[in-house]
């Protein structure tokens, strides 16, 4: 077995862009390092230590402690292990690099070339043929060319069988290249070929026509290498990427459809990086905020959030990055001119190499919905209030109906009572008058008695009619007061004299406490006389024999107070408010005394017209007091 020489080592390092390599042989349990070469000074014991790790199980090399120690000691980023099986022996090429290896397809092809170089330089010719049979089945061509002589030193691959040509034909025969290479790529290929032959590394993807006339895609890489002290050699790699292009087109088509869907969607669709900066936003979203997409991208999302929502949305964002949650939330954006827009956002984490690198979100403008809900809430509040008011008014209406019904009942009772009060004296007058007229032989005494009865009942009837007329006038509001200045004390003294006879006839004493001094008021004298006359008359009417009716007058600075008290049957407290109600007649306990029931109503109307005040205090079987206060001047 021949060891590889330094030129081959340089070629391998050049192709792989590596810093150091060593070759390991395993032969029937024996392990040895065949060759070590490179720009790094590595201790032999470290190589041997790593060798044992490689032959142990190189598939787990990147996770082993020895590998990590080796990387750290020599500041390495990549270690590539390539294995070559032959009969009972196993060869492992270990390539060390301080930088990451490049394009994966290109790197793979480069190390396939390295393996072939090893086979050519280490294994026997028979072994080369065995390895070449495997290499010919790969959809790629790897070649070495002297760029000065344009002579191919090495070429292996299967493109010839697939496409009916080899790179040598294209590179050395311009007419063939015009036939095989697609017309739109021909100029690029000729430029690529010229740069490669001038010693520049070149990579070109282009279309070709295979032997069946089908269009296929290849990636052609030309790498200048340093052999024998100069860069006159080129390592070339041609890989069939037709399937890759097909997948790429499908991806691009899918991406275009997705982008079109995103751009035509009515919703806000956006993505943020892990720091919260916009990476993308669709047209509908940027238009909703009043900006162009360019004005939003690369700006932090909090710049567009309302101040009241910033703290909450920042917490949501960090929670998504930490816990990888798919989250639905609401937030308020500020559009360009300051209007607030409420969006419902559904967001999901974005991953890159297994780590969360941002988020993607879809937002729907629900501003109008929230405004409608607010209006509905306000309307519901108003509706509740309206229903409450309606309920109150309904109850009030029921009460008013009840009051009206009660008033109607009282009115009917009042009319019935008045009718009775009118018929009673009329019946007496008519009855006694008919008796006198029909019986000419009646004694003079009887005629005189009957005449007195007719006169008394006539006066009673006249008073009742006058009371009805007064009540009607006062009730209609058409009555005007004839105010004059008069002495109330003298008027009450005169009035009390008119009741002496009726009081004495019932055995009732009439007590008067009226100051001798003049008490002048400005009022309607006739109405005031009528009011006090009704009160005194009631006192005498409801006081039994042996009782007392008192008239007390007190003079104050701005008003005069008149208290008319009796020791009569009294009025129940619950009935006192009814005394001054229209059409109401209070039946006192144990009393069947007739009356129309509007005498006190008239009193209240007269006192109210004079801006006065009337109060009633009463106790059953002990008597009643009427307290009247009148202003001295209007």
- 282 has pLDDT over 60: yes
Supply the pLDDT for residue 144.
76
Supply the pLDDT for residue 295.
92
> How far apart (Å, rounded) are the C-alpha atoms in residues 33 and 10?
18
- 278 has pLDDT over 90: yes
Q: Each residue of 88-136: pLDDT tens digit?
A: 667 777 878 777 665 555 566 666 666 666 655 554 443 344 334 444 5
Q: What is the mean pLDDT of residues 291-297?
A: 92
Fold of 373-476: Helix Hairpins (1.10.287)
Please state the domain extents for the chain.
1-130, 136-264, 285-365, 373-476, 480-631
Given 3.20.20.70, 3.30.465.10, 3.30.450.20, 3.40.50.10320, which CATH number is that of 285-365?
3.30.450.20
- 238 has pLDDT over 70: yes
Which of the pair, 260 or 606, is modelled with greater confidence?
Answer: 606
- 608 has pLDDT over 70: yes
Q: To which H or E segment does residue 503 belong?
A: helix 500-505
> How far apart (Å, rounded) are the C-alpha atoms in residues 471 and 491?
23
In eight-state DSSP terms, residue 122 is H
Supply the pLDDT for residue 566.
95
- 170 has pLDDT over 80: no
The Cβ-side half-sphere exposure at 596, using a 13 Å CA radius, reads 25
Average pLDDT, the chain: 80
Count Cβ atoms below 10 Å from residue 135 Cβ, excluding itself.
18
* Least confident window among 328-342, 372-386, 401-415, 581-595: 581-595
1-130 and 285-365 share one CATH topology? yes
**Helices of type H across 58-152:** 65-74, 104-122, 125-135
| CATH numeric code, 136-264 | 3.30.450.20
Long-range contacts of 362-368 (CB under 8 A, 24+ apart): 362/267, 362/268, 362/269, 363/267, 363/268, 363/269, 363/270, 363/285, 364/267, 364/268, 365/267, 365/268, 365/288, 365/341, 366/330, 366/342, 367/340, 367/341, 367/342, 367/343
Fold of 1-130: Beta-Lactamase (3.30.450)
* Least confident window among 3-7, 242-246, 263-267: 3-7
> How far apart (Å, rounded) are the C-alpha atoms in residues 536 and 565?
9
> How far apart (Å, rounded) are the C-alpha atoms in residues 328 and 337?
27
Q: What DSSP assignment string belongs to 565-604?
A: EE-SS---GGGGGGTTSTT-----TT------S-HHHHHH
Residue 365 forms beta bridges with which residues?
A: 343
Q: What is the mean pLDDT of residues 470-489?
A: 78
Q: Each residue of 211-237: pLDDT tens digit?
A: 777 888 988 888 887 655 566 778 788
Per-residue pLDDT band for 294 (boundaries 50, 70, 90) equals very high
As a whole-number percent, the residues of the chain with pLDDT over 90 amount to: 26
> How far apart (Å, rounded) are the C-alpha atoms in residues 536 and 542?
10
CATH class of 480-631: alpha beta
**In contact, 554 and 560? CB cutoff 8 Å:** yes
Which of the pair, 300 or 454, is modelled with greater confidence?
Answer: 300
Count Cβ atoms below 10 Å from residue 339 Cβ, excluding itself.
11
Q: What is the mean pLDDT of residues 352-372?
A: 88
- 521 has pLDDT over 90: yes
């Amino acid at each position: 077995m021949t060891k590889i020489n330094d030129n081959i080592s340089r070629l391998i390092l050049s192709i792989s862009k590596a810093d150091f390599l060593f070759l390991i042989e395993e032969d029937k349990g024996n392990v040895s390092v065949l060759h070590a070469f490179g720009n790094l000074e590595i201790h032999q014991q470290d190589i041997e230590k790593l060798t044992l790790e490689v032959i142990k199980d190189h598939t787990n090399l990147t996770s082993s402690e020895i590998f990590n120690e080796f990387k750290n000691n020599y500041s390495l980023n990549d270690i590539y292990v390539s294995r070559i099986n032959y009969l009972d022996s196993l060869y492992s090429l270990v390539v060390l690099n301080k930088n990451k290896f490049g394009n994966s397809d290109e790197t793979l092809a480069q190390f396939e070339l390295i393996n072939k170089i090893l086979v050519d330089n280490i294994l026997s010719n028979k072994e080369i043929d065995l390895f070449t049979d495997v290499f010919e089945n790969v959809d790629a061509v790897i070649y070495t060319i002297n760029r000065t002589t344009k002579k191919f030193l090495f070429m292996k691959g299967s493109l010839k069988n697939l496409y009916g040509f080899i790179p040598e034909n294209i590179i050395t025969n311009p007419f063939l290249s015009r036939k095989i290479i697609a017309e739109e790529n021909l100029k690029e290929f000729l430029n690529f070929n010229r740069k490669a032959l001038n010693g520049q590394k070149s990579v070109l993807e282009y279309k070709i026509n295979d032997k069946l006339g089908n269009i296929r895609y290849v990636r052609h890489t030309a790498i200048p290498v340093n052999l024998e002290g100069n860069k006159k050699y080129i390592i070339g790699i041609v890989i069939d990427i037709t399937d890759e292009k097909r997948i790429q087109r499908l991806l691009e088509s899918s991406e275009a459809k997705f982008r079109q869907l995103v751009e035509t969607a009515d919703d806000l669709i956006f993505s943020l990086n892990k720091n919260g900066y916009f990476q993308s936003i669709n047209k509908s979203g940027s238009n909703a905020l009043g900006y162009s997409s360019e004005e939003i991208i690369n700006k932090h999302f909090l710049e567009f959030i309302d101040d009241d929502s910033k703290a909450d949305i920042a917490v949501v964002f960090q929670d998504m990055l930490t816990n990888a949650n798919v989250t639905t939330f609401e937030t308020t954006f500020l559009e360009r001119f300051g209007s607030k827009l409420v969006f419902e956002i559904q967001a999901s984490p974005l991953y890159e190499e297994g780590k969360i690198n941002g988020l993607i979100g879809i937002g729907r403008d629900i501003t109008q919905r929230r405004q409608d809900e607010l209006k509905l809430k306000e309307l519901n509040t108003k509706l509740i209030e309206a229903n409450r008011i309606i309920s109150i008014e309904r109850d009030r209406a029921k009460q008013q109906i009840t009051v009206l019904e009660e008033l109607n009942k009282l009115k009917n009772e009042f009319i019935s009572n008045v009718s009775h009060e009118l018929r009673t004296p009329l019946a007496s007058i008519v009855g006694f008058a008919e008796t006198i007229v029909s019986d000419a032989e009646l004694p003079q005494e009887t005629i005189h008695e009957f005449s007195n009865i007719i006169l008394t009942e006539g006066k009673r009837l006249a008073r009742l009619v006058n009371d009805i007329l007064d009540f009607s006038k006062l009730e209609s509001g058409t009555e005007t007061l004839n105010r004059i200045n008069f002495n109330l004390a003298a008027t009450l003294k005169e009035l009390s004299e008119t009741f002496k006879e009726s009081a004495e006839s019932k055995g009732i004493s009439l007590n008067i406490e009226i100051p001798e001094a003049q008490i002048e008021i400005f009022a309607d004298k006739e109405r005031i006389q009528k009011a006090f006359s009704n009160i005194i008359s009631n006192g005498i009417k409801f006081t039994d024999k042996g009782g007392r009716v008192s008239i007390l007058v007190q003079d104050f600075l701005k008003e005069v107070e008149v208290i008319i008290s009796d020791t009569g049957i009294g009025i129940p407290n619950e009935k006192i408010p009814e005394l001054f109600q229209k059409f109401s007649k209070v039946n006192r306990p144990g009393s069947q005394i007739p009356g129309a029931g509007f005498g006190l109503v008239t009193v209240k109307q007269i006192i109210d017209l004079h801006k006065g005040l009337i109060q009633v205090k009463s106790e059953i079987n002990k008597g009643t007091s009427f307290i009247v206060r009148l202003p001295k001047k209007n």
